[in-house]
């Protein structure tokens, strides 16, 4: 009986385990079916669709450089493909409609060429010759006059009255190229060196400056840099010179020869007697070299690269003497007038003396120009200030910089041909006889001005 009870217990435990396994399997199948049913209830993501075509563009797309493809001539071609019938019998080709009377025939040659594909408007270019004239107005005491309006000015080009299209009294940033003469006498050069510390005070943070010097040839010390930066005063201190020491020339007699010799020759070849310098009893005195033309041209080339929105100024500190330059005055002035560059100057030395400075303007043939600087200022619409002392030279920097920055700006459209490169004269008049008008005398048109 005991063995039968043990077998019965074993059978019952086995049946219980089997029932448990069947129940677990059924529950797993039910979970899987529920999971599958849940996954099937989630909808699929939408299929990416092509974007709708742009209005006015055919189904052939757009070809780079050619625009849209050719459009059909009939209005039915503009219908959407969704509204087109599924099947339609091909219709007989209809005769093209007659061309409108306002359009030229297809075989006619027009200056504008065929219209572009896709119905877009053909681009067009208009050449405009806009002329800008800075003007300074002073009274009888050489003070600037403010408060004038555009009605007070009249501009004439080649003698023809021009209609003003632009008028402004706003100050403009300056691009100033300083040109310093290092061939001045030593006493005058000392005054110029001392006054250089006031140059930076005459400029604003919106201005920029470059420094050039010349004696026997121009030298650029720095390109355009910020007017209130640390570079400008450092370069001005390096650009200082001792000047020259003029002495009484001796070109005749026993003292005309060289007293200091080495190996039978004079130490200074400029004083060597014989050949081009003369003979043993007569010596040709070497001529002074003042390459003012070359220095202004070098500064003008650097200025021509500055933006048109800035006022281009060349500020010269010199006595105005010119001899030995490769460039002539006419060549340099033409370059200045073509690139809209104005020359201002502070005259020092002999040309700053009362009376003598006026006489120095007259040039004797086959001799050195004693003062050619005033001709640059008059031709380009600049101004000249004559100063002899250190205080006067320092004040002239601020005076001229303020005058160049605050000017009346007039603009008009020239009636001359844009393809004519000849010189065009400009005259500006003010309807008040007691005022003096300073402006450039003319200009040469440039291809840079055409748009």
Arithmetic mean of pLDDT over the chain: 77
- Can you tell me the mean pLDDT for 117-138? 70
The per-residue pLDDT for 76 is: 43
Please name each of the domains of the chain with its CATH number: 131-243+288-449 (3.40.50.410), 258-287 (no CATH)
390 and 398 Cβ atoms separated by less than 8 Å:
no
The per-residue pLDDT for 328 is: 92
Q: Which of 380, 379, 381, 425 is nearest to 159 (CA)?
A: 425
Q: Which residue has the higher pLDDT, 12 or 281?
A: 12
- The whole-angstrom separation of Cα 227 and Cα 224 is 9
The per-residue pLDDT for 371 is: 85
- The whole-angstrom separation of Cα 380 and Cα 93 is 73
Task: Judge whether residue 263 has pLDDT over 90.
Answer: no
Q: Which of 91-100, 140-149, 320-329, 376-385 has the lowest mean pLDDT?
A: 91-100
The per-residue pLDDT for 29 is: 63
Q: What is the pLDDT of residues 374-433, one digit of tens each?
A: 899 999 999 999 888 899 999 999 999 999 998 999 999 988 887 788 899 999 999 888
Q: Which of 273, 215, 272 is nearest to 244 (CA)?
A: 215
Phi, psi values for residue 76, rounded to 5°: -70, -20
236 and 242 Cβ atoms separated by less than 8 Å:
no
Percent of the chain at pLDDT above 70? 62
Q: Which of 284, 260, 264 is nearest to 274 (CA)?
A: 284
Task: Judge whether residue 50 has pLDDT over 60.
Answer: yes
- Which pair of tokens denotes residue 188? 């005058």
- The whole-angstrom separation of Cα 367 and Cα 118 is 72
With cut-offs at 50, 70 and 90, classify the pLDDT of residue 110.
very low
The per-residue pLDDT for 231 is: 93
314 and 179 Cβ atoms separated by less than 8 Å:
yes
- The whole-angstrom separation of Cα 114 and Cα 35 is 68
- Please, which residues have CB within 8 angstroms of residue 161's CB and are 6 or more apart in sequence? 154, 155
Q: What is the pLDDT of residues 341-388, one digit of tens each?
A: 999 999 998 877 776 666 777 767 766 777 889 899 999 999 999 888
């Amino acid at each position: 009986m005991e063995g039968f009870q043990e077998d019965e217990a074993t059978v019952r435990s086995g049946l219980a385990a089997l029932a448990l396994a069947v129940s677990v399997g059924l529950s797993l199948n039910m979970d899987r079916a529920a999971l599958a049913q849940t996954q099937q209830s989630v909808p699929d993501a939408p299929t990416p669709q092509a974007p709708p075509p742009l209005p006015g563009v055919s189904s052939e797309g757009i070809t780079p450089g050619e625009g849209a493809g050719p459009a059909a001539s009939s209005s039915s071609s503009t219908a959407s493909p969704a509204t087109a019938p599924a099947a339609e019998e091909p219709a007989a080709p209809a005769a093209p409609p007659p061309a409108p009377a306002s359009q030229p025939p297809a075989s006619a040659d027009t200056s504008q060429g065929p219209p572009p594909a896709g119905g877009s408007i053909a681009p067009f270019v208009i050449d405009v010759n806009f002329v800008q004239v800075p003007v300074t107005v002073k009274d009888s005491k050489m003070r600037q006059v403010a408060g004038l309006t555009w009605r007070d000015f009249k501009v004439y080009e080649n003698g023809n009255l021009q209609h003003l299209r632009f008028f402004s009294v706003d100050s403009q940033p300056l691009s100033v190229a300083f040109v310093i003469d290092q061939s001045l006498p030593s006493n005058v050069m000392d005054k110029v060196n001392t006054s250089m510390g006031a140059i930076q005070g005459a400029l604003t943070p919106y201005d920029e400056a470059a420094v050039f010097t010349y004696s026997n040839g121009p030298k650029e010390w720095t390109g355009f840099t910020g007017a209130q930066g640390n570079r400008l005063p450092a370069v001005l201190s390096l650009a200082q010179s001792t000047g020259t020491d003029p002495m009484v020339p001796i070109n005749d007699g026993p003292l005309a020869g060289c007293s200091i010799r080495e190996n039978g020759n004079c130490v200074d070849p400029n004083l060597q007697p014989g050949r081009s310098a003369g003979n043993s009893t007569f010596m040709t005195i070497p001529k002074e070299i003042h390459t003012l033309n070359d220095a202004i041209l070098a500064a003008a080339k650097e200025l021509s690269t500055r933006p048109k929105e800035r006022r281009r100024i060349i500020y010269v500190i010199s006595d105005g003497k010119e001899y030995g330059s490769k460039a002539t005055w006419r060549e340099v002035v033409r370059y200045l007038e073509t690139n809209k560059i104005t020359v201002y100057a502070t005259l020092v030395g002999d040309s700053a003396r009362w009376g003598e400075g006026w006489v120095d303007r007259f040039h004797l043939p086959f001799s050195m120009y004693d003062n050619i600087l005033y001709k640059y200022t008059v031709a380009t619409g600049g101004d000249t200030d004559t100063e002899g002392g250190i205080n006067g030279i320092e004040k002239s920097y601020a005076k001229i910089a303020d005058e160049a920055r605050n000017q009346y700006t007039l603009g008009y459209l020239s009636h001359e041909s844009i393809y004519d490169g000849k010189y065009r004269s400009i005259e500006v008049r003010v309807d008040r006889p007691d005022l003096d008008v300073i402006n450039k005398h003319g200009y040469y048109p440039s291809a840079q001005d055409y748009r």
